[in-house]
Amino acid sequence: MQTLDEMLSRHLLSSDQHGQIRAWIAAARTPNAIMDMPTDLWRALELASVLMDFDADIT
């Protein structure tokens, strides 16, 4: 959740997107359930990840 909070603080996610994504992840019981996130939220999360260069941090 720290990464989501950072995305919000950098204004890469709106407060509404942040809340919806956070709630979805909290309710998901499996990684596959997270992958079933609504498309609009998934796209927002992907874009924020790219803008943060998140992949570079984990490789």
Token pair recorded at residue 17? 């997107």
Q: Does position 58 have pLDDT exceeding 80, yes or no?
A: no
Instruction: Supply the pLDDT for residue 13.
Output: 97
Instruction: Supply the pLDDT for residue 53.
Output: 82
Domain residue spans of the chain:
2-58
> Each residue of 1-31: pLDDT tens digit?
689 999 999 999 999 999 999 999 999 999 9
**DSSP-H helix ranges across the chain:** 2-9, 15-27, 31-35, 39-52, 54-58
> Each residue of 25-56: pLDDT tens digit?
999 999 999 999 999 999 999 999 999 885 55
18 secondary structure, DSSP code? H
CA nearest neighbour of 6 among 52, 43, 42: 52
